[in-house]
Amino acid sequence: MQNRFRAPGRVNLIGEHTDYNDGFVLPAAIHLETIATFTPAPAMNWTSSSNPPEAWQRYVSGVEKQLRRRAVPIPPLAIHFESTLPLGAGLSSSAALEVSAALAFIAAAGFELPPMEIARLCQQAEIETVGLGCGIMDQFISLHGRAGQAMLLDCRSLAFEAVAIPEDIALVIADTGVKHALASSEYNTRRAECAEAAQYLGVQSLRDATDPRGNPRARHIITENSRVLAFVEALRTNDRRSLGQLMAASHLSLKNDYQVSCLELDMMVEYAGLCPGLIGARMTGGGFGGSTINLVEADQAQAFAERLRDLYPAATIYITKAANGAGPQSP
């Protein structure tokens, strides 16, 4: 029986905080990942050889609980987790942990579930057990990623389609090394503010709003959704100038209207503009620290990374390409 499963982290190219507003996102899976290896055991026993999130076992037990609720007959297992994903970098180490655990539990039970169902139950585990009112983007892309492609997901219908990233564009992730403590409480506050704004505007969710009537949170969601669609078009037509402009506008909107950026992210985006080969830069993920995503001419990615490190010595930089989603891993 296959007893080893990998689940990747992600980087979101554009479409931030839109997932829990029924909107559009455009993430890609990356090469950094978590691997779960299991063996039958007399009792449940989970170990980790990497540096897991604080109280990481809660993520695993949350997933187990969701699966049992769906009548998946999970036997007692020893599961060992190892990961190359940095923590607190905004690259979805928690979704990778949840998804790798889910695949291990499901395989051990001799069960099968559609990938979108697995994404939803992992999201549910994070909301209920960890208390972060997240959307579905991170768990979705960890399962549905495809090499060389970003995925356009409509978070209302859950319809998705692959959008090729030109071969000569590198995804360069720059981790600021900071994670502000208020990240998850502010995240939940934004979610509540969006629900209030939707009510005020008389729409089911901000996806349906067209006029923000001066509400900055609503303005971010409305403009960000249209930027995602324009960005997809620009990728398809290889319009690099538009890609750059849309990323810059997204960052400013997250900074000023949605207020989830921070000094370190703003500096990293500004410094990227001084480095060779940049197409576009913005913060990625939930914000309040974590990483920026930079689209960079692939043949200049190395020079870009070196220059950015000179300007921001504490940065950890990953030069990557879109990777495949979760699945069995050969030993």
Write out the catalytic residue numbers.
138
User: 269 near 315, Cβ under 8 Å?
Assistant: no
In the complex, least distance from residue 17 CB atom to ligand GAF, rounded to whole angstroms: 5
Task: Provide the pairing of β-strand 278-283 with 169-179.
Answer: unpaired
User: 250 near 16, Cβ under 8 Å?
Assistant: yes
Applying CB under 6 A, the span of 1-9, 34-42, 101-109, 132-140 interacting with ligand GAF comes to: 132-140
Helix axes 137-144 and 93-108, enclosed angle (nearest 10): 60
Which residues 267-286 are close enough to bind ligand GAF by CB under 6 A?
285-286
175 contributes a contact to ligand GAF by CB under 6 A: no
* Residues facing residue 8 across a β-bridge: 33
Helix (H) or strand (E) holding 279: strand 278-283
In the complex, least distance from residue 119 CB atom to ligand GAF, rounded to whole angstroms: 11
Binding-residue pattern over the window 15 to 54 for ligand GAF, x denoting contact by CB under 6 A: -xx-xx----------------------------------
Question: By C-alpha distance, which of 116, 101, 7 is closest to 56?
Answer: 101
In the complex, least distance from residue 323 CB atom to ligand GAF, rounded to whole angstroms: 17
d(CA 167, CA 158): 27
Which amino acid, one-letter code, is at 6? Answer: R
86 contributes a contact to ligand GAF by CB under 6 A: no
134 contributes a contact to ligand GAF by CB under 6 A: yes
Q: DSSP 3-state assignment of 149? A: strand
Residue of the chain from 52, 135, 212, 280 that contacts ligand GAF (CB under 6 A): 135
| Total residues binding ligand GAF (CB under 6 A) | 11
Which residues 279-318 are close enough to bind ligand GAF by CB under 6 A?
285-286
DSSP H helix total and E strand total for the chain: 9, 12
Closer of 97 and 298 to ligand GAF (Cβ) = 97
In the complex, least distance from residue 126 CB atom to ligand GAF, rounded to whole angstroms: 7
137 contributes a contact to ligand GAF by CB under 6 A: yes
Question: By C-alpha distance, which of 159, 137, 67, 61 is closest to 325?
Answer: 137
Q: Counting every residue, how long is the chain?
A: 331
138 contributes a contact to ligand GAF by CB under 6 A: yes
Closer of 157 and 330 to ligand GAF (Cβ) = 157
Closer of 89 and 170 to ligand GAF (Cβ) = 89
Closer of 17 and 217 to ligand GAF (Cβ) = 17
User: 42 near 28, Cβ under 8 Å?
Assistant: no
Closer of 62 and 285 to ligand GAF (Cβ) = 285
What CA–CA distances, in Å, run from 168 to 93, 164, 279? 27, 11, 11
Which residues of the chain form contacts with ligand GAF (CB under 6 A)?
A: 12, 16-17, 19-20, 134-135, 137-138, 285-286
